A = this chain, B = another copy of it.
Amino acid sequence: MLGNDYKQQNCSIARALELVGERWTILVLRDIFLGVRRFDDLQRNLGVARNVLAARLERLVGEGILEKVPYQERPLRHEYLLSDKGLDLWPVVVELLQWGDRYAAPSAGPPILLRHKGCGGVLGERRICSDCAQPLSVRDVRAEPGPGASARQASLARHR
């Protein structure tokens, strides 16, 4: 996505897309939701050009969707955490995931499963646990490799 403004559009969807609709931005957020928080890890995981990743992160920090927090002093190193505004994008990411699982997953099945930490049930429609029927929020859920995960994804998950 080159431009990021939708002129003439008085619409909350258009305004949301102006903030998160650029190419790579949703995948950057996905990775941070999954716990990948450092520049080099994000770059390696996404395979995106460093300047593009830097621009996306800077924009998300500027919009208050991410917070850039030091995790090491010498040399100074930062990681990226979701603000409340960023965490509130979880439903958007989940709905994209569920639609993709339904219509575009590998034949083996979903690459990722989101499970309710409490009971082990799978996150279902409307972000309700398919086992215990509890409405789930981002903190109630953990990601694990699904039947369609690549060997690399399964291995990464084991080592995190």
Contact = CB atoms under 8 A, between A and B. Distances in A.
A96 B27 contact: no
A138 to B, nearest CB: 13
Contact of A13 (B22, B23, B27): B27
Given A104-B16, A153-B10, A88 B96 contact: no
- Interface core residue of A15, A24, A46, A89 (most chain B CB under 10 Å): A15
Nearest to A89: B99
Interface string A1-41: 11100111111111111110111101100100000000000
A17 B24 CA distance: 9
A23 to B, nearest CB: 5
A140 interface: no
Listed from nearest, the 10 A-B pairs whose CB atoms lie closest are A12-B100, A16-B100, A15-B104, A1-B1, A126-B126, A91-B95, A92-B95, A8-B47, A12-B101, A16-B96
Interface of A: 1-3, 6-19, 21-24, 26-27, 30, 46-47, 85, 88-89, 91-93, 95-106, 110-112, 126-128, 135, 148-150, 153
21 contacts: A1-B1, A1-B2, A2-B2, A6-B24, A6-B27, A7-B47, A10-B106, A10-B149, A11-B111, A12-B96, A12-B104, A12-B110, A12-B111, A13-B27, A14-B27, A16-B104, A17-B96, A19-B104, A89-B99, A91-B99, A92-B96
